[in-house]
Structure 1
């Protein structure tokens, strides 16, 4: 896996979790608490979700369901191939499973996984391993279950004939569930031997699986999807690292009337160092601030009960007219600049 999990993603995953929770009588407001997301934003194709926001949703979901072993398996089964957009079509159109593995790992930034995935061949077995050691302990099992099962669901959507896939076993590093019926839930979904307290979390296939051709393989479609996936991956790479730290901090503030110096102090950087890091990542503080303001504005404006002066304050502007000017600039795709009001906080 070549990309870290700390990257922005679409709202599809959060939407899947809200729908899954709703089937259990859990309100979306409970699932979204503290994430700075609302239900209306989940249906907007332009909504961008930070990794920290999705983790907040996962933690809420785990807490609301009692974090029972096996729940991550139930949730992961809802991550169908179509949830991944262009990447899903690319995996389905690839010439062989070997290609889907290489592409799935290379374009991991286009998935919703928080586990680090690695693939290897042990003699006559192909093994896909999942590690979530950097996840908080209270949700680590839930994350592993969800991510591993989501990968399995991609395989099942690609090869509807279960018997055609030489799946041999599933291994988990955590202990077997002590809750009655939980182990059966694992076996019911995976339909192969499931072991616990293993060295690693792994899916094990016959190595011959790598040579299978997906039934929807299409070279032209695969080439077209690679172009789209490359473009999206490049865009998201600009939203990681220090820029992601800045963005996450801004999203957590009650007002975006912040200078670069304010943020640098919080993140323990010298102002010059923070500016240099952002430039190295191909962006600026002004651009990140403007992007966050636009995202926050889009969410707040969906709620017509919020007064204009409150929206202006949240965005870091002194009055509503400044918000109106900023929105015009965003629609034109013009970079921030010009008036002192719009440049406030750019540092």
Structure 2
């Protein structure tokens, strides 16, 4: 029986009470390089969309995208994604198509780390631990499943609803692209099928997904995931090198800590709101508690391509999504946590968001 070790070193086999062997523990709301935005902008430009329209409201210029040392906030990338969705009418498969453009070389040290791992299971664990060095918004987990297979599945908890489908597609497609590049030139492609929780309503759209992934793609599933052969986890990587991995891991660990502990103003505001018992906090109150003047806080958020209202709305919607999944939480408590006077006020707001509350 092959054993798979999780990130913490505990060993899990087929008889283990848990089959999850790797999990992404860090939040997606961290600074990232401009490379992810540049990739989306390059793809859009090649398909007839002007760069200026994609950067609108982000606080970024074309020169910023060429600055390899520049870090941007997650909210700025979200603004680009929203502009991209608007420009292409949120067309089905858009995220999946763009995900193919995220090559190993796009990730810097992270890409080198994956290449230096000894076997695929080690690569998966390292990949999820150092996720703050990527552009992912989806939260990945690796899990052994039935029929001698394993799943790389994702959740989008806390991700704004209007971009959740796009980032799910993009992040799964990008993961598939990286894994295929790790075995470039070799007859290795153990991907069996792809599942998406969302649905599509046309055969043309389904063809797009099939072309991107090259395997059967199912929709309306319980979760979004890539399904692989179990034996793939034990496959040696062609460029694995323990010494190189040790050296690169040190760099990645340092970068991970910097990304997680150097949030911009938007990250501070998001963290502040998530810590509150109720989201009925104003910009002035937030500024005071974070030791900013209201004007300084507003200008800082503008520079990062966002606003207090935009962050507040995103946090509120994300929390609403999470809280409503737990039927044990009283409705009055949900409304209070989200900053509403009562349940009826909350349901009216939800209807304005396009959500239906029973």
Q: Normalised by the size of structure 1, how large is the TM-score?
A: 0.71
C-alpha contact (below 8 Å) 2:103/2:177 kept by paired residues:
yes
Residue 306 of structure 1 aligns with which residue? none
Residues 38 and 176 of structure 1, relative CA distance in 2, 3 Å threshold: same
**Could you list the per-position Cα deviations for residues 42-67 of structure 1 after superposition, in whole angstroms to 9, with x for gaps in the alignment?**
11112111000000000000110111
Alignment of 1:6-17 (within 5 A): 6-17=29-40
Residues 171 and 116 of structure 1, relative CA distance in 2, 3 Å threshold: same
CA distance in 2, matches of 1:137, 1:20: 23
**Could you list the per-position Cα deviations for residues 272-323 of structure 1 after superposition, in whole angstroms to 9, with x for gaps in the alignment?**
x536xxxxxxxxx79xx8xx98xx6xxxxxxxxxxxxxxxxxxxxxxxxxxx
Residues 244 and 267 of structure 1, relative CA distance in 2, 3 Å threshold: farther
Query: Alignment partner of 1:228: what SS?
Result: helix
Query: Alignment partner of 2:151: what SS?
Result: strand
Return the match for 1:38 from 40, 61, 71. Answer: 61
Larger radius of gyration: 1
Residue 268 of structure 1 aligns with which residue? 285
Instruction: Give the Å deviation of 1:198.
Output: 0.3
Residue 70 of structure 1 aligns with which residue? 93
Q: Normalised by the size of structure 2, how large is the TM-score?
A: 0.69
Alignment of 1:51-90 (within 5 A): 51-90=74-113
1:201 and 2:218 equivalent?
A: no
Return the match for 1:24 from 32, 35, 47. Answer: 47
Alignment of 1:240-279 (within 5 A): 240=263, 244-246=267-269, 266=283, 268-269=285-286, 271=288, 274=290
CA distance in 2, matches of 1:216, 1:121: 25
Return the match for 1:113 from 122, 136, 144. Answer: 136
Return the match for 2:204 from 140, 162, 181. Answer: 181
Residues 177 and 221 of structure 1, relative CA distance in 2, 3 Å threshold: farther
Count residues with an aligned counterpart.
268
C-alpha contact (below 8 Å) 1:126/1:204 kept by paired residues:
yes
Moved more, 126-135 or 90-99: 126-135
TM superposition outliers: structure 1 runs of 4+ over 4 Å: 246-249
Query: Alignment partner of 1:36: what SS?
Result: coil
Q: Where does the alignment leave 5 or more consecutive residues of structure 1 unmatched?
A: 250-263, 276-284, 297-347
CA distance in 2, matches of 1:161, 1:193: 23
Q: Where does the alignment leave 5 or more consecutive residues of structure 2 unmatched?
A: 1-23, 273-280, 304-358
CA distance in 1, matches of 2:156, 2:46: 27
RMSD between aligned alpha carbons? 2.8
1:102 and 2:128 equivalent?
A: no
Alignment of 1:320-335 (within 5 A): none
